[in-house]
Structures are given as C-alpha cells and as structure tokens.
Structure 1
Amino acid sequence: MAKYEWRKQEKAIYPNRKQPTIVTLGPQNFITLTGHGDPNQPEFSRRVAALYAISYTIKMAPKKGVKFNAAYDYTVFPLEAFWTLPADFSGDIQTQKHLLVYKIMLKQPNFVTPEVFAQAQAMAAAKLPADLLTELKLETLTEGQVAMQLHVGPFATEAESFAKLASYLANAGYRRTSQAHKEIYLSDFRRTAPEKLKTILRVAVARI
C-alpha cells in the first residue's frame, strides 16, 4: 500500500485555499488532551509535545519491530484544537487568554484501535510526563456540518478571516450553531514566520 498522505487524500477535510467551504464530517478518531489557559505559556507546549510523542510512537512502531494489525505507512496528521470560553465571558480575549479552554488533538489512521492506543501508551511511557500519559484519550468525534475558512497570517488577525466566513455563511443561508471553533494548524507555528502561518478555521453550522 502506498503511503497515505492526508494533504493529498483528504482535501475536503483539510482545504488549502482561501475560499470558504461547507462539508459534513463523519466519525473520526483522535488522540486528545484537554486543558485551559494561555496557549503562549509552557503548559500548552507541554501538552502539544505529548500528543506528538504518542502519535509518532504509533507511526514509528514498525521500526521498533512492532506491527499493529492492518497498519500502513502514513503522514502524521496536523495538530487541531477546539477553543471555547466560559459562558459568562465578556471583554477582549486578547487580554484574557488565561480563560481559554481547549481540546488539542491529532487525528489517527483507522487501524488505531483502543488496543493499539493502550500499547502505544505503554511504549511511550518512559518519554511522557506521568500526568499527561493518563490524560491522553483516544476519542471518536463526529463534527457534522461545518464551515471552514483558511486563514493566512498571525493568530492575532484571525478576526478578519472569521468576518469573511460570517459574511459567506449569511449569504449562503447558514448560521453558526456554537461560539466554539476549531483551528487546524497546517503550519508548524513553532518554526514558521507569523505572516506565513496557515490555519484552517472551522465552525459548526446549520441552515437558517
């Protein structure tokens, strides 16, 4: 089997163009970690590192002589994160990022079952903080109907892309069903210049 590459084979889920799109997403499997606080602080980076550590443990298992049932070679999926705020929040989020609540995640290929995940946890135990090892979860998430907008540039200017998406939804006869949103990081924000960052903004929607 040829290497599975999400950029080529899942373009509808991970669009790399600025035109807004609406799609319906079925069940997908993710390894997840929840947390809260400013993503610019070390704790967020620690949780991201844990997600990548266990995901690469699964991907690189064949090189360690471990063969999971029905496994195949693939490109590790991009980091994704659901972002929410307390229900009574008001004010400028740029000055109150400590109130953010997030669930970060990495999508997994379909051969990653609960049994594979448990084995990967055992394999990665020595290189993961004990508290995060027990917080990692394998979850099946169904997002349903969503709208997406590619944002190019620093995170601080995302409001401009959200405004474009809102205009598109209004003209197309859709509305957002939640104030929470998802971000999918097509660029490595640790190594990419802010003006070159590519981030998919995704929101749940329904017909008006």
Structure 2
Amino acid sequence: MSDKYEWRKKEKSLYIPKNKPELLEVPSLNFITLSGEGSPEDEIFTQYIGTLYSLAYTIKMHPKTMTTKPNGYFDFTVYPLEGIWDINDQAKAHFLGTIDKKDLVYQLMIRQPKFVDTNLYEEMLNLAKSKRDNPLLEQVKFTTITDGRCIQMLHLGPFENESQTFEEMESFAQAQGLTRRSKVHREIYLSDPRKVAPEKLKTVLRFQVV
C-alpha cells in the first residue's frame, strides 16, 4: 500500500468542493509562482505553466534520491495548477463590464508541501537550472500566500461561463452578510483543458470576503 500523500483525499475541503457555494478559512500556504499579464491564449502563458511543472516535479522527485532526506520529507502527489486573476489598472479605470483577455493580470502557482523551505527550494531551483536552459526559472518565486476567509465553489464547464458561478457565489455571500473583497479571484484547475472537453472541465473558483 502506498503511503504517498494525496491532496485529493487529504484536503478535500480546499480542493474538492461541491458545485454550490461554501464558506471556508484558507490557511497560509507555500507556493512556487510566476506572474504575467495578457491572454492565457498567448504562448508565454503555456511556457509559464511548463516552467512551474518542471520545477514542481524536480522538487517532488529529487529528494527521493538524496542520502539525507529534507527534514519532514514525505512522498506526495504534485498539487494542481492555480491562478490568481485580476485586470490591469488601465482596464480598471475604463471598465465597462466586459473583460478583454489582453488586459488580464495573473499569478500562476503550484502549492508546495510543508517540508519545502527556502533552502530546499533554492537547492531544487539551482538543480533545475543546471538541467535545463530556461530563462523563466529566474522569474519563479517561492512565497507564502494567505487567502483567509473565502467563498468557493466547483465550476463545471467552460472558463467562459464562470460569470454564472460567480453570481451564485456573490448571492451566497450577500445572504451570509458578507462582501466580496474585490474582483480578484483564485482558480484551481482540476482538469487538463488539453485532454478534457470544455463542458466537462472542473475548476475551483474562490474569492475573499469580509
């Protein structure tokens, strides 16, 4: 029997919500991140994702071969890709209700287990750099993010239909006497759009509330 840590089984409250709004408190978590701007259809967006996953798998696989394992080490399933989304300041100043994809601002990320600290991250980053000439690795950051009090919901279907889910989440927030902090939101991608039909995509949507 495998003793691998499976986030899908161990952290359902954070990653496997129901397709109805729910309130939760998200703790401080560590991520490797890349920030960018523009349409997710741009080639650089795909390169960002590839860079994050290549580093995430270096962090997963290399410690297995180390004679002295990192303190607190355990085998684990790589966490899913996540993104925090906003629009640029110019778009906000002239916002008329419709978002142009070229105005998007995003921070893509993959969560890291608790045993990954700054020292181990730097070691794995340098290892990844030595194996592959990828200038985007220079832009990756290791950071702690605290979402805090949030409302989340599983969105089923195309990304273009997310507004319907957000409306349901905002109505739930209002009923709870809560206010959405901003239009900034987090998406957690449980499906690979390259392999799954748009109508079957599963995406966790989450925004902060006060």
> Could you tell me the percent identity over the aligned residues?
41
Indicate if the aligned counterparts of 1:50 and 1:128 stay in contact, CA closer than 8 A. no
Q: 1:164, 1:53 → 2: CA distance?
A: 36
1:60 is aligned to 61
Q: Are the structure 2 counterparts of residues 109 and 89 from structure 1 closer, same or farther at C-alpha, using a change threshold of 3 Å? A: farther
Match of 1:79 in 2: 81
Q: Runs of 5+ in structure 2 lacking a partner? A: none
Matched, 1:162 2:163: no
Moved over 2 A (4+): 62-70, 126-131
Amino acid at match of 1:72: F
2:22–2:152: 8 Å Cα contact kept in structure 1? yes
In structure 1, the residue corresponding to 2:15 is in which secondary structure? coil
1:90 maps to 2:92? no
Secondary structure, counterpart of 1:175 in structure 2: coil
> How far did residue 65 of structure 1 move?
4.0
Residue 20 of structure 1 is matched in structure 2 by 21
CA offsets 1:27-56 (integer angstroms, 9 cap, x no match): 100000000000011110100110000000
Q: How does 1:37-56 map to 2 (within 5 A)?
A: 37-56=38-57
Give the Å deviation of 1:174.
1.1
Alpha-carbon offset, residue 190 of structure 1: 2.2
2:119 to 85, 97, 115: 115
CA distance in 1, matches of 2:115, 2:193: 28
The verdict on how the C-alpha distance between 1:194 and 1:122 changes in structure 2, with shifts beyond 3 A counting, is same
Is 2:141 the counterpart of 1:137? Answer: yes
| 1:70–1:142 Cα change, 3 Å | same
Secondary structure of 1:107's aligned partner: strand
Report the alpha carbon displacement of residue 104 of structure 1 after superposing the two structures with TM: 0.4
Residue 179 of structure 2 corresponds to which residue in structure 1? 175
TM-score scaled by structure 1?
0.92
How many residue pairs get matched? 204
RMSD between aligned alpha carbons? 1.6
Extract unaligned runs of 5+ from structure 1.
Answer: none
